[in-house]
């Protein structure tokens, strides 16, 4: 089975620049917490706990991180405060690697699943359409035949926006008029994509979250219709979360994972926010891999999430 890896290289400058606000925020607080202290004592640990929680890492994940650092401090009694960020970096990376999947190259396209169907879900405004455009660009650049499906038929602007991305990237889009049945758009998209030997299909959906039952019914309907064209589709259900909303992103992840089988996450808008720590919490908490992170509005501003790279950028010198 041939596997194609994409996104082999993340631009470090984009990552560093994108995470700079979170980094400044965390670092300035850590610097203050350790000022005048020579070693990591209980006070420093208490402050650190508060810093991580207020950086949107989340309470559970923060307690795990503090627990690990406590163990280290107990072992080597005199850890000095200048070593603290290096230890944080190591312990967070170790924690994320321990309970989660290996870092990958983003979505891979197995040869026996063609076209590979990615359905994108998430509430309005989180960055679904933008992420689809950026993903389509990456696949296209890798020589893949990409089809987009505009199954967010709820707002006229949503379809328009995906059309703009399809033109920018230079890939075909399947759409119907606003208000049409999203499942029918998904069906048409898969049918065209299959007839034209597409390698990958990306389906946009509406993010109406009236209640869990509605959402579940709608997503289930879209999935079932796709199965009529390709029994194993969709191959991926990518949930997009807006990282700049911090704990709200966490709540959305809880609701969507309860409503449908999400198997990949993308966290967007990490640029320009100090809440980037939420990626650490989300990556730790949900047993669903964070595959991508959004670091800007530009076509190239999507990166594969790699835990060590991320933690190094956040807690590096």
Footprint of ligand GDP (CB under 6 A): 122, 124-130, 161, 207, 268-269, 271-272, 294-297, 301
Q: From the CB of 317, what's the least distance to Mg ion, in Å?
A: 38
Q: From the CB of 28, what's the least distance to Mg ion, in Å?
A: 35
Question: Would you count residue 260 as binding Mg ion (CB under 5 A)?
Answer: no
Work out what residue 297 binds among Mg ion, ligand GDP, none; the CB cut-off runs from 5 to 8 Å by kind: ligand GDP
Using CB under 5 A as the binding rule, the residues of this chain from 109 to 148 that contact Mg ion are: 128-129
Name residue, tokens 């009694």.
77
Residue closer to Mg ion by CB (options 158, 215) is: 158
In contact, 128 and 204? CB cutoff 8 Å: yes
Work out what residue 262 binds among Mg ion, ligand GDP, none; the CB cut-off runs from 5 to 8 Å by kind: none
Q: How far apart are CA 139 and CA 135, in angstroms?
A: 6
Q: From the CB of 276, what's the least distance to ligand GDP, in Å?
A: 11
Name residue, tokens 């590979």.
116
Residue closer to Mg ion by CB (options 158, 229) is: 158
Of 80-88, 102-110, 152-160, 223-231, the window that binds Mg ion (rule: CB under 5 A) is 152-160
> Nearest to residue 275, comparing CAs of 16, 13, 18?
18
Listing DSSP states for 52-93 in one string gives HHHTT--HHHHHHHHHHHHHHHHHSTT-BGGGHHHHHHHHHH
Residue closer to Mg ion by CB (options 240, 279) is: 240
CA angle, 49 as apex, 46 and 53 as ends, to 5°?
A: 145
In contact, 174 and 188? CB cutoff 8 Å: yes
Q: From the CB of 244, what's the least distance to ligand GDP, in Å?
A: 8
196, two tokens: 């034209």
> How many other CB atoms sit within 10 Å of the CB of residue 305?
24
Binding residues vs Mg ion (CB under 5 A): 128-129, 158
């Amino acid at each position: 089975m041939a596997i194609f890896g994409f996104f082999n290289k993340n631009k470090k400058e984009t990552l560093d620049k994108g995470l700079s606000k979170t980094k400044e925020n965390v670092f300035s607080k850590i610097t203050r917490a350790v000022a005048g202290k020579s070693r990591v004592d209980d006070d420093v640990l208490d402050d650190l706990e508060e810093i991580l929680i207020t950086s949107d890492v989340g309470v559970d994940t923060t307690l795990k991180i503090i627990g690990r650092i406590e163990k280290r401090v107990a072992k080597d009694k005199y850890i000095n405060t200048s070593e603290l960020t290096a230890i944080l970096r190591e312990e967070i990376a170790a924690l994320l690697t321990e309970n989660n999947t290996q870092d990958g190259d983003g979505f891979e396209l197995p040869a026996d699943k063609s076209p590979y169907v990615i359905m994108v879900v998430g509430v309005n405004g989180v960055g679904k359409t933008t992420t689809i455009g950026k993903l389509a660009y990456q696949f296209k650049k890798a020589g893949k035949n990409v089809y987009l499906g505009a199954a967010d038929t709820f707002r006229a602007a949503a379809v328009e926006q995906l059309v703009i991305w399809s033109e920018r990237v230079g890939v075909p889009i399947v759409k119907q008029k606003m208000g049409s049945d999203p499942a029918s758009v998904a069906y048409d998209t898969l049918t065209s994509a299959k007839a034209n030997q597409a390698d990958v299909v990306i389906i946009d959906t509406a993010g109406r979250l009236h209640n869990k039952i509605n959402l579940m019914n709608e997503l289930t309907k879209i999935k079932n219709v796709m199965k009529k064209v390709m029994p194993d589709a969709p191959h991926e259900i990518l949930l997009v979360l807006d990282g700049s909303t911090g704990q709200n992103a966490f709540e959305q992840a809880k609701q969507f994972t309860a409503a449908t089988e999400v198997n990949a996450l993308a966290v967007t808008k990490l640029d320009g926010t100090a809440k980037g720590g939420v990626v650490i919490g989300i990556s730790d908490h949900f047993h669903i891999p964070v595959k991508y992170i959004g670091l800007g509005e530009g076509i190239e501003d999507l990166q594969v999430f790699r835990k060590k790279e991320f933690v190094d950028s956040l807690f590096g010198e």
